[in-house]
Amino acid sequence: MIRLLAVVLLLSACGSKPADKGPVDYSAPGGAFRATLPGNWRADEARVSDRLSAFFGPPDGPRPYSQSMAVYFHPASDPQTAARLYLASGDLSGPPTPITVGGLPGLEATSSGRERGLETKSTPTTTRTVVAWTEGGFYCLEQIRPTDDPPSPAFDEMLKTFRPGAKPQ
């Protein structure tokens, strides 16, 4: 009887999606920024080059965890010019548009590309990039998703609630 109960519980757990914990207030390591994020997205706080944090989700749908959001900080002596050059280096789908993020002036742009998976196939992707400059450098907030997937509203929420913090070292 106990084995049967264990099997039933295991099977029911395998088919369920992660519980939606609702929005959570996220604070990056070292206090580099704060934002509101979905509680069921996975965070990766490993410092890779200028990346401060990355997030993967949503956990459900046809391609679980296929969308990503990341926050970078790029040091620069002329942050506005550096941010504009950074955007211009991509294959933009149109001209950048002005935006304000966390009280900082910035630009937003979209580009298309391909992302290679673990298999030999590559997936067409859409990248939405927002740059916002401050003293000493600029933040880059980026959302990458498979082009045929609808964009998660999580990126808009992150942009709306993004607050820069201590200058990343």
| CATH number for position 156 | 3.40.1000.10
**What are the E-state strand segments in 45-162?**
51-57, 67-75, 97-101, 104-116, 122-134, 137-146
In the chain, pLDDT over 90 holds for what percent of residues? 62
In terms of average pLDDT, the best of 12-16, 92-96, 152-156 is 152-156
| Residue range 70-84, pLDDT digits in tens | 999 999 999 999 999
Is 140 contained in some domain? Answer: yes
| Residue range 41-54, pLDDT digits in tens | 999 988 788 899 99
Is 49 contained in some domain? Answer: yes
Model confidence at 113, in pLDDT bands (50, 70, 90)?
A: confident
Is 58 contained in some domain? Answer: yes
Is 71 contained in some domain? Answer: yes
**Per-residue pLDDT at 67:** 94
DSSP designation for 99? E
State the total domains in the chain: 1
- The pLDDT of residue 142 is above 70: yes
Q: Torsion-angle region of residue 152: left (phi > 0), alpha (psi -120 to 50) or beta?
A: beta
Which tokens hold the place of 165? 């913090």
Is 15 contained in some domain? Answer: no
- The pLDDT of residue 1 is above 70: no
| Residue range 20-69, pLDDT digits in tens | 568 999 999 989 999 999 999 999 988 788 899 999 999 988 889 999 99
Lowest-pLDDT choice from 70-74, 122-126, 151-155: 122-126
The reported pTM is: 0.83
Is 123 contained in some domain? Answer: yes
Q: Which domain does 34 fall in, by range?
A: 22-164
- The pLDDT of residue 10 is above 50: no
